[in-house]
Structure 1
Amino acid sequence: MGLVNAPNKVPQLQRQYQAAYKNHTRIWKINTRSPYLLTPYWILLWGTTAAGFYGMGRHICGYKTWFGDK
């Protein structure tokens, strides 16, 4: 029953976003939930970069697979 009488936060957030837009603030720096949006992006970015470098390093050393000797 908590959502039935919940206050409407849309006008407040709209003013916040419009003020930040006028100040040329990036969208991911406006709200406090931004780390939740950026964390999966950073994990995927650096994870795939590290995996690519690992694979390239093994290929340079003569290994054709991710694991093992062959």
Structure 2
Amino acid sequence: MAGLVNAKNRVPEKQRYYQQAYKAHTRLWKIGPRSGVIMTTFNLAMWGTFGASMYAMGRKVLGYNTWFSED
């Protein structure tokens, strides 16, 4: 716990970094170091949901009311 008391204040450094990126018109979700992980997860969830919806709608159009069975 003592390490947190004497920790360096990094807020001004991060603030300068974000302000420079903002002035360069970089989108907020592309600025951070973890943005690739966040956007990849988001895209997988969005496209996965879209694909599942298309599959379910296609089965519904063909007359099947469930995901896998022939009922």
Residues 59, 67 of structure 2: 8 Å contact kept? yes
Where do 5+ consecutive residues of structure 1 fail to align? none
| Aligned 1:10-29 pairs, distance under 5 A | 10-29=11-30
* Superposed displacement of residue 65, structure 1: 1.3
- Distance of 1:7 and 1:34 partners within structure 2: 24
* Superposed displacement of residue 53, structure 1: 0.9
Question: Pairwise CA RMSD of aligned residues?
Answer: 1.5
Is 1:34 the counterpart of 2:35 in the alignment? yes
Q: What is the total number of aligned residue pairs between the two structures?
A: 70
**Percent sequence identity over matched residues?**
54
Where do 5+ consecutive residues of structure 2 fail to align? none
SS in 2 for 1:13: helix
1:18-56 alpha-carbon deviations (Å, 9 max, x no partner)? 111111111111111112322332122011101011101
Larger % of helix: which? 2
User: TM-score, normalized by length of structure 2?
Assistant: 0.82
* Superposed displacement of residue 63, structure 1: 0.8
